[in-house]
Structure formats: C-alpha cells, structure tokens
C-alpha cells in the first residue's frame, strides 16, 4: 500500500451553508510563520471533501472533492468510495485513489465517521474495515 501522505491535521467545518472535511499533512496554524515565497510554492498534501447545502427549495446541493495527489476533478453524478480503518483512509473516485495515513484519537475518529455518514451519505460509500469497527 502506498500512502500518499500522513494526515497531521483533520479539520471539520460544518456550518450553515456547507460542510468541509480537510485532511492535511501540515498544521494550518503553521501558515502564519511561513514566508510569502513558502506560501506561494506550497507543497502541502491534502484531501478536501466539501458539500454546499441548498439555500432554498429551488437551489441544488453541490459536492466537491479535490486532492493534491490527484489531477482528476469530481463528477457530481459519481459516488466516492471510502475504505477506512483506524490507521488509514482510502478514497476512490473516477479511477483515482488517495491513501491517507491516520493517527486520530478515538473521539476524532468517531466525529469523522459521523460527519461522513450524516453529511455525505448521498455521495460517499463508506466501507469500515474490521479494526475500524472494533475501535468504535
């Protein structure tokens, strides 16, 4: 298994107009200490999964996925497949695969699964591997 990157920071923003999950190989707080050149030439590795909620009955919801490790966009008609254990997450879409090493605390892991299962269930199929089930 090739792990594309180790997740150092997981951020979950569930707000009025949308929900965003970001897996990153660096801490966002560290950005304040970077020079302008470092920010412009950033080589941060990340996976971003986003859902924008419909504002009214005439609006539609929008899903977006992107990764520093993939050149492909996301076709909104496709589902994302996620295989997850307590140690890693594997996301597949449009033939792309991103593998992220996880080192989350038990409560962080539960929060991640809850958000994936409640906010992204229409577009994400989650396969919990045995050691993920045991950790819940």
Task: Give residue-wise pLDDT tens across range 97-112.
Answer: 899 999 999 999 999 9
User: Is residue 24 predicted with pLDDT exceeding 90?
Assistant: yes
What is the reported pTM?
A: 0.82
Q: Band the pLDDT of 79: cuts 50, 70, 90.
A: confident
Largest CA distance in the chain: 45
Residues present in the chain in total: 136
């Amino acid at each position: 298994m090739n792990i594309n990157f180790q997740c150092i920071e997981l951020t979950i923003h569930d707000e009025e107009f949308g929900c965003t999950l970001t897996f990153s190989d660096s801490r966002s707080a560290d950005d304040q200490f970077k020079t302008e050149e470092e920010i412009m030439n950033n080589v941060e590795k990340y996976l971003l999964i986003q859902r924008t909620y419909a504002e009214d009955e005439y609006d539609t919801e929008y899903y977006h996925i992107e990764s520093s490790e993939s050149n492909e966009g996301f076709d909104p008609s496709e589902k994302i497949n996620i295989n997850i254990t307590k140690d890693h997450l594997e996301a597949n879409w449009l033939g792309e695969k991103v593998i992220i090493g996880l080192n989350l605390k038990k409560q962080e892991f539960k929060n991640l699964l809850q958000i994936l299962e409640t906010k992204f269930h229409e577009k994400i199929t989650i396969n919990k591997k045995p050691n993920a089930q045991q950790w819940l």
